[in-house]
A = this chain, B = another copy of it.
Amino acid sequence: MEKQSAKILYVEDDVNLGYVTTDNLQLHGYNTTFCKDGKAALEAFKKEPFDLCILDVMLPEMDGFELAKAIRERDKNVPIIFLTAKTLKEDKIAGFKTGADDYMTKPFSIEELLMRINVFLKRSKVNATKEELPSQFVVGKCNFDFDNLTLEVAKKKNELTQKEAELLRYFCMNKNRVLKRDEILKSLWGDDDYFMGRSLDVFVSRLRKYLKQDSSVSIENIHGVGFKLNA
């Protein structure tokens, strides 16, 4: 298996430090994109996926905390490391609360940064379902195209939203198996609280509405446990 070099998004408004660090990262084999402000970083993130983000906190346009939140909304798994001069306990806590994975304070040693980068890349590689997930599914008499967000049930084409499609794909990949609520929520919502649970119920309700024309398919509730797609 060819080892693709990891893509890192690095945001730092001190350009001197920024260039030095970027050089160092590239020297160590990381494909590094360097941005000088939060807005540019978010644009870069929207364009292409990254394997890891290193963010300064004090940034022009959009601060690092806001940026981290925006990144988390789009990708709940990508590791985020703060790298900042703000050493206060409160700042650290705030940083972690945005969904960050690590918080380093300046001045820092490049070796330590490399070590910490390595920790998270290693851990996310374990998960790496980077292998392309299937896009076409046939369930009962339904045709579901994940990439095109379409679900054909009894000749009728339905357009799904991204989240509806993600949930349906999760069911399709695990049909006829009991899926626990918290597993579903961890996988698709990234966390598990009361309101996310209710949100899941709403989505299940919508999927059932699409599927009700096909009597050979149903999403069954397992009380107190989760759901099962019967097909």
Contacts and interface: CB of A to CB of B under 8 A. Distances in A.
Interface string A1-40: 1010000000000000000000000000000000000000
A115 B96 contact: yes
A222 interface: yes
Interface stretch (A41-49, A59-67, A123-131, A210-218): A123-131
A147 B213 CA distance: 29
A181 B111 contact: no
A183 interface: yes
Interface string A116-155: 1011001111110110000000000000000111000000
How many identical chains are in the complex?
Answer: 2
A116 B116 CA distance: 13
Nearest to A178: B148
Contacts of A223: 161-162
Tier of interface size on chain A: 35 or more
Nearest to A101: B119
Nearest to A119: B101
Contact of A222 (B3, B96, B129, B149): B149
A162 B224 CA distance: 7
A156 interface: no
Contacts of A122: 191
Given A123-B123, A181-B1, A93 B77 contact: no
10 contacts: A93-B115, A96-B115, A102-B116, A102-B119, A103-B112, A123-B123, A129-B187, A149-B178, A161-B223, A161-B224
Given A93-B111, A147-B177, 14 more contacts: A3-B182, A92-B109, A92-B112, A92-B115, A93-B115, A97-B115, A102-B102, A102-B116, A102-B119, A122-B191, A126-B127, A129-B183, A129-B186, A129-B187
Interface of A: 1, 3, 77, 89, 92-93, 96-97, 101-103, 109, 111-112, 115-116, 118-119, 122-127, 129-130, 147-149, 161-162, 177-178, 180-183, 186-187, 191, 222-225, 228
Sorted from nearest, which 3 A-B pairs have the closest CB atoms?
A96-B115, A148-B178, A89-B109
